[in-house]
A and B are shown apart, each in its own frame.
Chain A
Amino acid sequence: MNRLLIKGGRVIDPASGIDGLFDVYAVGGKIAAVKPNLSTPAPDSQSDGWNIIDATGLIVCSGFIDMHTHLREPGYEYKETIKTGTMAAAAGGFTSIACMANTNPVNDNASVARYILKKAAEEGAVNVFPVGAISKELKGETLAEIGELKDSGCVALSDDGRPIVNSGFMRLAMEYAKLFNFLIISHCEDTGLAPDGVMNEGFISTKLGLRGIPNAKEDIMVARDIALAELTGGRLHIAHISTKGAVELVRNAKQRGLLNISAEAAPHHFTLTDEAVMGYNTNAKMNPPLRAKTDIDAIKIGLKDGTIDAIATDHAPQNIDEKDVEFDKAANGIIGLETALPLSLRLVDEGVVSLNTLVEKLSANPAKILGLSTKGSLANGKDADITIVDLNMEWVVDVKKLKSKSKNTPFNGWRMKGMASKTIVAGKVVYEG
């Protein structure tokens, strides 16, 4: 029986309303006690499966959960594998990740979901929760075997990477998913609008001669999906919100009492504007694209007032050969697991959110939205998934040192403050900074 004692840290667990200097005690991978000054076992008993961690000066919180990761396995192991992706997650302080279905083959049936879970159990550093596809092969035409996906362990449904173009089909998906109380994570994009866009539409796109993607492309789809969630009563989660308009639509929906709607934002969408694309930097190319300052501000307000429930990375590894090409031919996406925490901590420094709120958006809320009832909290009996954070650690991002198999990040060389000091999954340390 493994026993874990974390002493002297500031424990932040918004789910159980704890914020203070406590010791955390876990037995057999479950939280057993969060109390001040728990007694340290006698030195001679320490060999018997005891692990004692001194967390003085550090933050101890329920393990972070990334609702939006692309692990790429099966099919694109040259970009990322379950092994490397979960190592990156651990290094970023994430104890659980939900991986998107756009693998090859697509995770639209039980065998793929089981394969992912089996691989994750064998090689994964952290917990992996597959997200099943809404439609077969992500084509947006016929429903995937949603019941079977539920049985095999999928925690949500999403065609992420592609929008569901047909409103009629989206309605059916939301209605059918209700049968299993399945969450639908929607990648919102009106494909008919600016179909050849490769970056945010604005002065920078004009200057660079690149086709723009207007905010309306996202806003239209967010509005549609909210209307469909209202119509069907299905559970809708808006993925990687990037525009002011989308934030306002979600806020408005929540204010109208639609409790079946939630939303996430990615760190790059509240950190960088489209100016990062200058010089045709393909590591600043993603979908949805980096937007304007006004959008960043709106996302921050959305995080502050609770419109946006979660911070999710949209970790999207791409091989260098897919990035080191002409801008309009370059693949979308950036890796995010290992930079999400320090970028999010900037929000605390700027006074946008409190540390408590940040932990909520990185842990408690994703657990709630995904229905992971044993996670996202340090209450007694919950899984001992714990992230210990050193708020003051200063470091410089060096892609060569990142655990992810791909190196596509616009943050290479950035000075960061704060990192995971230890990442603990089921009472075992899986990463030490």
Chain B
Amino acid sequence: MRLKRKDILTIEDLGRDEIELILSTAESFKEVSDREIKKVPTLRGRTIINLFYEASTRTRTSFEIAAKRMSADAINISASSSSAVKGETLKDTAKNLEAMSPDCIVLRHPSSGTPQILSRLLRCSVINAGDGTHEHPSQALLDLLTVKQRLGKIQGLKIAIIGDILHSRVARSNIYGFAKLGAEVNIAGPPTMMPCEIEKTGCRAFNRIEDAIKDADVIMMLRIQLERQKTGLFPTAREYSQLFGLDSKKLEYAKKNVVILHPGPVNRGIEISSDVADGKYSLILEQVKNGVAVRMALFYLLMGGARE
């Protein structure tokens, strides 16, 4: 079986079998990170450019480690050091990078859809590392892998995603990902942070966190961006925390063996209380570890075969 695509842009356009292939490949790669020499020569001579137009430590580092463990040459370009500040357009940047013959560009960009636009301009593979408020496919894949490893399956699970759904690319990718693998997805957040007609993506929307997490197997808490308060999407962090923050009291609505995910970085005491974040339910560190394996799998599946 082969991943018959040039790019990984969204979870929305991946098929269930493709997602499963990526997850099973990622599982094989987890072992490489446990080795004495955490490196395989598979992608020797391949060049991967991490092109980040937004600050990100976790995702960029994860892609970089993944590339290096596959022996690919990884080059990091961030917006502050790139030509973007000198006014070079995305198209020119892309064409200039292509002239350096990379095999894959990993793109993080604040504008939704930019990976799609870039992928049409470039011959090399493009991996979306988060675009605006659209999608963040590698994050959803690592979340799926984490849940699958802990609970043994995805099919039939109840997932609750809580927080600022409107601005969350993680939420969109996860709704598609979990729904495609047969889970039931509930979402909850303030109505000011709920996108229009979101239920059509395959989830059920609630206003109260208690309703969304009832009998949940998995709770995913989204990071709340405190600057949203300025635009009036919620009155205060305190009120947000009371209504939508996850603490041990609200956690009683969920199943006993519920697991908790968070894409990080965590605002402790706001969207999630410290005792819950550090508790036995939390898979937050497991997510980070799986992130490397998933990204190695993506590199392998995109570049391990011959070019068309």
Residues of B within 8 A of A327 (CB): 111-114, 117
Within 8 A of A (CB), among B82-138: 89-91, 109, 111-114, 116-117, 131-135
Residues of B within 8 A of A201 (CB): 196
Knowing A280-B117, A326-B117, A327-B117 touch, does A210 contact B196 (C-beta < 8 A)?
no
Asked whether B112 lies within 8 Å of A324 as measured between CB atoms, the reply is no
Asked whether B172 lies within 8 Å of A202 as measured between CB atoms, the reply is no
Which size class do A's interface residues fall under? 20 to 34
Asked whether B113 lies within 8 Å of A209 as measured between CB atoms, the reply is yes
Rounded to whole angstroms, the CA-CA distance of A328 and B196 in the bound complex is 18
Knowing A206-B195, A208-B134, A280-B116 touch, does A326 contact B109 (C-beta < 8 A)?
yes
Contact of A210 among B89, B90, B113, B197 (CB under 8 A): B113
Asked whether B113 lies within 8 Å of A208 as measured between CB atoms, the reply is yes
Residues of B within 8 A of A325 (CB): 89-91
Asked whether B111 lies within 8 Å of A328 as measured between CB atoms, the reply is yes
A37-64 CB mask vs B (1 if < 8 Å, else 0) is: 0000000000000000000000000000
User: Is A35 close to B, CB under 8 A?
Assistant: no
User: Is B249 close to A, CB under 8 A?
Assistant: no
Rounded to whole angstroms, the CA-CA distance of A279 and B197 in the bound complex is 19
Knowing A201-B196, A324-B91, A325-B89 touch, does A209 contact B169 (C-beta < 8 A)?
yes
Rounded to whole angstroms, the CA-CA distance of A202 and B198 in the bound complex is 9
User: Is B5 close to A, CB under 8 A?
Assistant: no
Overall SS of chain B's interface: mixed
Residues of B within 8 A of A210 (CB): 112-113, 132-134
User: Is B210 close to A, CB under 8 A?
Assistant: no
Contact of A206 among B89, B114, B132, B197 (CB under 8 A): B197
A13-49 CB mask vs B (1 if < 8 Å, else 0) is: 0000000000000000000000000000000000000
User: Is B201 close to A, CB under 8 A?
Assistant: yes
Among B113, B172, B198, max chain A CB count under 10 A is at: B113
Asked whether B197 lies within 8 Å of A209 as measured between CB atoms, the reply is no
Among A205, A207, A210, max chain B CB count under 10 A is at: A207
Knowing A327-B111, A327-B113, A328-B111 touch, does A207 contact B12 (C-beta < 8 A)?
yes
Knowing A208-B113, A209-B112 touch, does A326 contact B90 (C-beta < 8 A)?
yes
Rounded to whole angstroms, the CA-CA distance of A39 and B286 in the bound complex is 92
Asked whether B116 lies within 8 Å of A279 as measured between CB atoms, the reply is yes
Rounded to whole angstroms, the CA-CA distance of A324 and B94 in the bound complex is 12
User: Is B200 close to A, CB under 8 A?
Assistant: yes
Contact of A209 among B89, B90, B133 (CB under 8 A): B133
- Tally chain B residues at the interface, Cβ within 8 Å: 24
User: Is A321 close to B, CB under 8 A?
Assistant: yes
Rounded to whole angstroms, the CA-CA distance of A208 and B133 in the bound complex is 8
Asked whether B12 lies within 8 Å of A326 as measured between CB atoms, the reply is no
Rounded to whole angstroms, the CA-CA distance of A203 and B202 in the bound complex is 12
User: Is A302 close to B, CB under 8 A?
Assistant: no
User: Is A212 close to B, CB under 8 A?
Assistant: yes
A401-431 CB mask vs B (1 if < 8 Å, else 0) is: 0000000000000000000000000000000
Q: Which residue of A lies closest to B198 (CB)?
A: A206
Residues of A within 8 A of B112 (CB): 208-210, 280, 327-328
Closest Cβ–Cβ distance, residue B128 to chain A (whole Å): 11
User: Is A329 close to B, CB under 8 A?
Assistant: yes
Rounded to whole angstroms, the CA-CA distance of A208 and B109 in the bound complex is 14
Asked whether B113 lies within 8 Å of A203 as measured between CB atoms, the reply is no
Asked whether B114 lies within 8 Å of A207 as measured between CB atoms, the reply is no
Q: Which residue of B lies closest to A196 (CB)?
A: B231
Asked whether A209 lies within 8 Å of B200 as measured between CB atoms, the reply is no
Rounded to whole angstroms, the CA-CA distance of A208 and B201 in the bound complex is 11
Residues of A within 8 A of B200 (CB): 203, 206
Rounded to whole angstroms, the CA-CA distance of A202 and B200 in the bound complex is 11
B181-210 CB mask vs A (1 if < 8 Å, else 0) is: 000000000000001111011000000000
Asked whether A209 lies within 8 Å of B91 as measured between CB atoms, the reply is no
Contact of A212 among B132, B135, B196 (CB under 8 A): B196
Q: Which residue of B lies closest to A326 (CB)?
A: B111
Q: Which residue of A lies closest to B116 (CB)?
A: A280
Contact of B196 among A205, A324, A326, A329 (CB under 8 A): A205
Residues of A within 8 A of B113 (CB): 208-210, 280, 326-327
Q: Which residue of A lies closest to B172 (CB)?
A: A209
Among B89, B91, B197, B198, max chain A CB count under 10 A is at: B197
With A208-B113, A209-B113, A324-B91 given, name 11 new contacts (CB 8 A). A203-B197, A203-B200, A205-B195, A206-B195, A206-B198, A206-B201, A207-B201, A208-B134, A210-B133, A280-B113, A328-B112
Q: Could you name 19 residue pairs across A and B whose Cβ atoms are closer than 8 Å?
A: A203-B196, A205-B196, A206-B200, A206-B201, A208-B113, A209-B135, A209-B169, A209-B172, A212-B196, A280-B112, A280-B113, A280-B114, A280-B117, A324-B89, A325-B89, A326-B90, A326-B109, A327-B113, A328-B111
Name A residues whose Cβ lies closer than 8 Å to a Cβ of B: 201-203, 205-212, 279-280, 321, 324-329
Q: A-B pairs with the 5 shortest C-beta distances?
A: A209-B134, A280-B113, A326-B111, A209-B112, A203-B197
